[in-house]
Amino acid sequence: MRLRVEFTTEPFDLDEAPAHALVAREVIEAAELDAVDVGPFGNTAEGGSDAVLTAVDALLRRALEAGATRISLQVNVVGEGDDK
């Protein structure tokens, strides 16, 4: 099964990306995911369910440790296929 995760971290800082946002992006970019899209107001990535769920776990833990006070995320099933 393929999944898509969309997420944002808060608090926002329009002048420069806060540490929690940078950490969250690093986690997603380092994960074995496809179609990673990092933007100023939201981020998306797709991949096999195991890879996405592992990345989401790391994202939540590391962004909170880096100062995030809120993390909004949505996970959607986008297709069937290899689970890895």
Return the amino acid letter for 18: P
Residue 74 burial (CB count, 10 A)? 11
Name every residue whose Cβ is closer than 8 Å to that of residue 8 and which is 6 or more positions away in sequence: 41, 42, 43, 71, 72, 73
pLDDT per position as a tens digit, 6-19: 999 999 877 888 89
What whole-number distance in Å separates Cα of residue 56 and Cα of residue 62?
A: 10
Whole-model pTM?
Answer: 0.85
pLDDT per position as a tens digit, 48-58: 999 999 999 99
Report the sign of the C-alpha dihedral through residues 55, 56, 62, 66, in that order: positive
Q: Quick one: which H or E segment has residue 71?
A: strand 70-79
Q: Quick one: which H or E segment has residue 28?
A: helix 19-30
Q: Which residue has the higher pLDDT, 40 or 81?
A: 40
